[in-house]
Amino acid sequence: MSLQAGDVPQPVSTLGVVIVNYRTFDLTVQCVRSLLEHEIAKPADIVVVDNFSPDGSGERLKEALSDQGVRVVLSGRNGGFGAGVNLGVAASHTDLVLVLNPDTYFLSNTVNVIRRLFDQQPKVGVAGLKLINPDGSLQYSARRFYSLPDILARRTSLGKLAPMRRLVKSHLLKRNWREGPFEADWVMGTGFVVRRVAFEQVGCMDEDYFLYFEEVDLCARMWVGGWTVMAVPEVELVHEHQRHSQAGIWSSSGKTHLRSMLRFFVKFGVPWVWRPSRPAMGKAYLQWRRQFVESPRIKQPDASA
């Protein structure tokens, strides 16, 4: 059943916002302005984390936003997206946290729909927003976990073959966006809401990912930890995204994406042929923890080399 913004009572859960900035002053200001204009969150509940931008945009954001009551946190280092999110969530105090990329903005306020979803379904740990392009087209921001055939279909010329095209549609859950909230293996980190209790229980964002796959990892740990991951088509967010992860495989961003993918497979198992089941991923993750977290004498394979 579809949830409509006008059909739900006022939500109980409080909502804050975390935006991680790195050399994106103009986009971050635009994002914050849309939050304030549409009353998505109170100014005091909006936290902007600057990841040690070399262009001085952190200090500029302090000057531009502090008078409006928005908090700007200077991290003092660029530890990556996950580290910035962790710092922002720690600086906030709300029940729910909306994590946004700077290159996003709202055209309307329907966030009470997603807040009410968290109130009604206490096992929801993460809920993704409906990401759209500026022209209104859908970005398909809820996905299934990867198999190696999925990766080949998405990143090689094999994706032009009819069977591979069907595989891509299945991976992107294209049919699911026609209805109301639905379960997804993971949702894109560009715009999602996380329940603070769940976030802290599963260990927050894994800061050993510098960029890419942090949200896939977080959602996997949500499922392993007994939480669910949802996507909510009723809450739209415009994303003026730069597709760095789609760059050439030997580009800087391409190499970073591959390293992050390798780390994810080290933690949750390599899905050689079929998409992994959540129980199988949970088993692989627990084994990884026993080897590399609970037994610190064993050195973890270096995925950043």
Structure tokens at 273: 């042929």
Question: What single-letter amino acid sits at 217?
Answer: D
Cβ count within 10 A of residue 54 = 9
pLDDT 10s digits, 139-176 = 999 999 998 888 888 777 887 888 888 999 999 999 99
What is the set of domains in the chain, with CATH numbers? 5-145+170-245 (3.90.550.10)
Say how many residues make up the chain. Answer: 305
CA gap 17, 192 in Å, rounded: 10
Q: Is the pLDDT of residue 125 over 90?
A: yes
Kindly report the backbone phi and psi dihedral angles of residue 181, in degrees, each rounded to the nearest multiple of 5, phi listed first. -55, 140
Provide the pLDDT for residue 149: 86
Q: What is the pLDDT of residues 25-38, one digit of tens each?
A: 999 999 999 999 99
Question: What are the tens digits of pLDDT across the range 55-90?
Answer: 999 999 999 999 999 999 999 999 999 999 999 999
pLDDT at residue 159, rounded to an integer: 74
Q: What is the pLDDT of residue 260?
A: 94
Question: In the chain, what is the straight-line distance between the N-terminal and C-terminal CA atoms, in Å?
Answer: 47
Q: Using the predicted structure, report yes or no on whether residue 249 has a pLDDT greater than 70.
A: no
Lowest-confidence pick of 47-61, 89-103, 160-174, 286-300 = 286-300
**pLDDT attached to residue 300:** 58
Predicted local confidence at residue 243, as pLDDT: 52
